[in-house]
């Protein structure tokens, strides 16, 4: 009897131990996290980033405000706002204050003839149509000291920046060699023209960053027609005066004295508006028939002058 009770106790203990191990194993399986949940979150996060990258614009608007450009009235053609860009630093002289295409940039252009479509004259337009391209760039939080100037390019100016002028920028391939980034960037957008003068003014540090203005313009806008030696010697004076006016406008933009707006000065020799063509004469001149003047109903009576008295015979 005692043997049976001991056997039952041993069997009960074995059963309880088996049940306890099974319970512990079940709780362990329930509390172990699965590896699929974090992987699914990672995949979802990656898909969101990819979708955001696809929705991002190819040429994002500059994070820093770029000065607005106002232009003089167009005597012929149309001025176009060619947009804002994150562009590389375009100047080829002096240190580069930004890395990559991170310089906030604004461009306006004066086109000789109005565009035929909604396109403002980007790639595909006739390069000779552009009379002027004006570009303003800023380098936020960075300075761009002026490079050593040469007498060929340097224009004497009373301001703190550096003013440069090249009357024929493409002569002998100068612009392509001396200003390669500007040359390629303008050419890629189809804003190049031949011939063109180059005017640039840089303020090394203004309101926490550098500012530079480039103007690519037809030489005829700043040079008079020369008829003799004296005209030829003094022909560069109007262009230098216009460059100084552009530099003064850039300084006003930098110190925000005109609400951060770059006011392009008028060109001294802007083309006159095209005259309307005269109406062509008809092949056959029109002829008109008029009725003869009708005779008056009654003739006008004219009194005959009185006859002179005959001389007296006693006075002869």
- What is the 3-class SS of 256-316, one letter each residue? CCCCCEEECCCCCCCCCCCCCCCCCCCCCCCCCCCCCCCCCCCCCCCCCCCCCCCCCHHHC
What are the DSSP calls for 105-123, one per residue? EEEEEEESS--SSSS-S-T
pLDDT over 90 percentage in the chain: 34
- In a domain, residue 40? The reply is no
> Which residue has better confidence, 215 or 193?
215
44: in domain: no
Mean pLDDT computed over every residue of the chain: 73
Q: 23-82: per-residue pLDDT in tens?
A: 434 433 333 333 333 333 323 333 333 333 333 344 555 556 889 999 999 888 999 999
The verdict on residue 301 lying in a domain is no
Share of the chain above pLDDT 70, in %: 59
- 274 domain residue, yes or no: no
Which 8-state DSSP code applies to residue 208? T
State the average pLDDT over residues 135-148: 88
Q: How many whole angstroms separate alpha carbon 149 and alpha carbon 260? A: 28
189 is a domain residue: yes
Token pair 């790639």: residue: 123
pLDDT higher than threshold 80 for residue 83:
yes
Task: Give a yes or no: residue 234 inside a domain.
Answer: yes
Q: Which residue did the predictor score with more confidence, 46 or 183? A: 183
What are the tokens at 129?
């149509």
Q: Are 199 and 243 in contact (CB under 8 A)?
A: yes
Residues 113 and 130: beta-carbon distance below 8 Å:
no
Confidence at residue 194, expressed as pLDDT on a 0 to 100 scale: 85
- The C-alpha torsion from 17 through 21 and 23 to 24, rounded to 10°, is 130
pLDDT of 192 reads: 84
**In this structure, what token pair is assigned to residue 120?**
């403002």
Which pLDDT score, from 0 to 100, does residue 198 have?
94
Residues 191 and 108: beta-carbon distance below 8 Å: no
CB crowding 250-283: b at 16 or more within 10 Å, else e: bbbbbeeeeeeebbbbebebbeeeeeeeeeeeee
Query: How confident is the model over 200-213, as a mean pLDDT?
Result: 85
**Which residue, chain included where needed, has tokens 């301001």?**
159
Domain that holds residue 248: 68-263
Query: 108-112, 135-139, 143-147, 156-160: which range is least confident on average?
Result: 156-160
Quote the longest CA-to-CA distance of the chain. 217
Residue 28 belongs to some domain of the structure: no
Under a CB-based contact definition with an 8 Å cutoff, are residues 138 and 85 in contact?
A: no
Cβ pair 70, 262 in contact under 8 A: yes
Residue 264 CA to residue 268 CA, distance in Å, equals 12
| Total count of domains within the chain | 1
Is the confidence at residue 137, as pLDDT, over 70? Answer: yes
Q: What pLDDT band is residue 220 in, cutting at 50, 70 and 90? A: very high
What is residue 284's predicted lDDT score, i.e. its pLDDT?
61
- For residue 16, the model assigns a pLDDT of 45
User: Cα Rg for the chain, rounded, in angstroms?
Assistant: 44
């Amino acid at each position: 009897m005692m043997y049976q009770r001991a056997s039952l106790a041993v069997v009960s203990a074995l059963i309880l131990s088996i049940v306890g191990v099974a319970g512990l194993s079940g709780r362990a399986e329930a509390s172990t996290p699965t590896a699929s949940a974090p992987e699914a979150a990672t995949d979802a996060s990656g898909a969101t980033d990819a979708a955001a990258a696809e929705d991002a614009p190819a040429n994002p608007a500059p994070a820093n405000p770029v000065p607005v450009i106002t232009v003089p009235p167009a005597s012929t053609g149309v001025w176009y706002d060619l947009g804002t860009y994150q562009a590389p630093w375009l100047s080829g002289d002096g240190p580069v204050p930004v890395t990559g295409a991170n310089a906030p940039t604004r461009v306006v252009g004066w086109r000789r003839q109005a565009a035929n479509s909604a396109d403002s004259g980007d790639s595909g337009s006739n390069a000779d149509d552009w009379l002027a391209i004006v570009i303003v760039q800023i380098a936020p939080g960075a300075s761009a000291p002026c490079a050593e100037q040469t007498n060929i390019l340097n224009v004497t100016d009373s301001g703190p920046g550096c003013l440069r002028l090249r009357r024929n920028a493409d002569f002998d391939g100068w612009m392509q060699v001396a200003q390669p980034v500007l040359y390629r960037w303008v050419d890629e957008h189809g804003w190049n023209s031949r011939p063109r003068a180059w005017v640039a003014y840089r303020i090394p540090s203004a309101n926490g960053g550098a500012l530079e203005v480039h103007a690519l313009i037809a030489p005829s806008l700043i040079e008079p027609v020369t008829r003799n030696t004296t005209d030829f010697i003094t022909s560069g004076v109007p262009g230098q005066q216009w460059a100084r006016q552009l530099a003064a406008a850039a300084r006003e933009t930098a110190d925000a004295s005109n609400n951060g707006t770059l006011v392009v000065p008028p060109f001294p020799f802007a083309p006159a508006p095209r005259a309307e063509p005269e109406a062509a004469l008809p092949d056959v001149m029109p002829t008109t028939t008029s009725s003869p003047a009708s005779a008056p109903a009654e003739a006008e009576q004219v009194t005959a002058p009185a006859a002179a008295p005959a001389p007296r015979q006693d006075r002869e």
